């Protein structure tokens, strides 16, 4: 990806609504060719995806604030979560108001599948 370095102040980036009810995100980076992206994502307490699902890319999340759960896993503030490509996971739920830095190395969803 040729180009110059960039610096982004997340405070100047507007929140956008997610496909997941109540969830909002700030898009910090998107590669239009690959679909890779980096977001700050806010999950209000109780928000999440209600059914098992998978992603066509590796998903990385660093929890900046709060707690997020998957069956058998709780990811807390200061912890890093890696979900490999095509690994079925979920349902998920924010156990507190939660802010994560989320990265995917390609598209987040398969075109024909959307989160519940």
Q: pLDDT tens digits, the chain, 116 residues: what are they?
A: 567 898 999 999 999 999 889 999 999 999 999 999 999 999 999 999 888 988 999 999 999 999 999 999 999 999 999 999 999 998 999 999 999 999 999 988 777 655 55
Secondary structure (3-state) at 10: helix
3-class secondary structure per residue, 66-100: CEEEECCEEEECCCEEEECCCCCECCCEECCCEEE
pLDDT of residue 108: 83
Q: Percent of the chain at pLDDT above 90?
A: 78
pLDDT of residue 41: 97
Q: What is the pTM of this model?
A: 0.87
For the chain, the domains span: 46-95
pLDDT of residue 4: 87
């Amino acid at each position: 990806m040729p180009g110059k370095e960039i610096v982004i102040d997340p405070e100047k980036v507007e929140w956008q609504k997610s496909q997941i009810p109540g969830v909002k995100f700030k898009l910090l980076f998107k590669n239009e060719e690959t679909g890779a992206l980096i977001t700050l994502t806010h999950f209000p307490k109780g928000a999440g995806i209600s059914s098992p699902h998978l992603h066509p890319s590796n998903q990385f999340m660093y929890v900046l604030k709060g707690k997020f759960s998957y069956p058998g896993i709780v990811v807390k503030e200061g912890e890093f979560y890696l979900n490999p490509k095509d690994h079925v996971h979920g349902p998920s739920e924010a156990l507190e108001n939660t802010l994560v830095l989320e990265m995917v190395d390609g598209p987040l969803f398969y075109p024909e599948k959307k989160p519940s």
